[in-house]
Structure 1
Amino acid sequence: MSAPDALPSLPVTFRPTRTRVVLYAVGIAQLAALAAIAVLLPKLSGGERASFVLTGALILAVLLLLARPKVVARQEGVTVVNLTTKRELAWAQILRVNLRVGDPWVHLDLADGTSLPAMGIQPGIAKDQAIRDARALRGLTETHGTGRHTAP
């Protein structure tokens, strides 16, 4: 993965847009279907109807959680929002941006020797977009970070 020709201007947000659209649509459709079943089935008690709607709301909540990941690059650094965590990083903390064949999302190699998954850039159903986003983030890291260029 090489640096892109033109880097995006800051701030920029990277998200798996197609995946988010699918998750939102499925979640809303699931909630609507279960609510319709709860209303249309005549032999259900009030508690059973409520459990149908509650199940739909729970499914929607899980799908919205899965749609949460993003990576926000700003002048000050990068914010990585994953399913349940959010981490602020200074540019100098990011040594390398990795998206290898078969990886489910980008991994950031950090100055403290750890690796941080950045689920906001994932090849899933938009592989070309994920590769472009990973290249852009790598280029931004090389420009704003330590200044050291790493091999692909």
Structure 2
Amino acid sequence: MNAPAAAAPLPVTFRPTVTRIVLLAIGFGVLAVMTLIAFLLPAEGAVVWGTGDRAAFVGSGLLVLGVTALLARPRVTADRDGVTVVNLTTTRRLAWAQIVRVTLRPGDPWVTLDLADGTVLAVMAIQPGVSRARSMAQARTLRALAETGGTSSRD
């Protein structure tokens, strides 16, 4: 991440698109299969499957969909006032002045933000697992925005 990057026009949102598509497709696929199984279970015979059993199958599919939707949630949105980082279960709004450095080192699972209060915040939305080049470009853009305080793209 040594090359300078031009700041993107604001607002800009980064998210792991391919990962999101795969996770949501898996979640809806599992829900569809579990629902189909629930309807195909025999109501009569040696083993009787009742309404509660069928509901449990559909409920399991909904649970899998919920988990995959949660995993597909990460994004980071930059606007003129700062960034909003949405990770799995948390959302954090930061002003540009709070961001000291944007980092993506080889082997890191995602970008991290070094903050003015001495803490580090993971940005799970920019992850090199699927496309290293894309994540590097997004990290450079976020770094450029952080270095300019989000001003270069609106002036």
TM more than 0.5: yes
Partner of 2:45: none
The 8 Å contact of residues 18 and 126 in structure 1, kept in 2 or not, is answered as: no
d(CA) in 1 for partners of 2:68, 2:78 = 25
SS in 2 for 1:83: coil
Q: Decide which of 119, 125, 128 is 2:130's aligned counterpart.
A: 125
The 8 Å contact of residues 3 and 138 in structure 1, kept in 2 or not, is answered as: no
The 8 Å contact of residues 16 and 126 in structure 1, kept in 2 or not, is answered as: no
Partner of 1:46: 51
1:9 paired to 2:9:
yes
**Deviations 1:89-113, CA, capped at 9 Å, x for gaps:** 1101101001111111110000111
Q: Decide which of 61, 85, 107 is 2:90's aligned counterpart.
A: 85
Partner of 1:70: 75
SS in 1 for 2:114: strand
Q: Decide which of 32, 48, 58 is 2:63's aligned counterpart.
A: 58
Task: Supply the AA of the counterpart residue of 2:27.
Answer: G
Alignment of 1:26-37 (within 5 A): 26-37=26-37
Partner of 1:149: none
**Unpaired segments of 5 or more residues in structure 1?**
146-152
Bigger CA radius of gyration: 2
| Distance apart, 1:12 and its partner CA | 0.2
d(CA) in 2 for partners of 1:58, 1:117 = 26
| Distance apart, 1:6 and its partner CA | 2.8
| Distance apart, 1:129 and its partner CA | 1.2
| Distance apart, 1:75 and its partner CA | 0.0
The 8 Å contact of residues 106 and 119 in structure 1, kept in 2 or not, is answered as: yes
d(CA) in 1 for partners of 2:84, 2:41 = 47
How many residues are paired up? 145
| Distance apart, 1:7 and its partner CA | 2.1
d(CA) in 2 for partners of 1:40, 1:10 = 51
Partner of 2:21: 21
**Unpaired segments of 5 or more residues in structure 2?**
43-47, 151-155
**Deviations 1:42-65, CA, capped at 9 Å, x for gaps:** 142111100000000000001000
> RMSD over aligned Cα, in angstroms?
1.2
d(CA) in 1 for partners of 2:78, 2:3 = 16
**Deviations 1:104-141, CA, capped at 9 Å, x for gaps:** 11100001111000111111212221111111100111
| Distance apart, 1:4 and its partner CA | 4.3
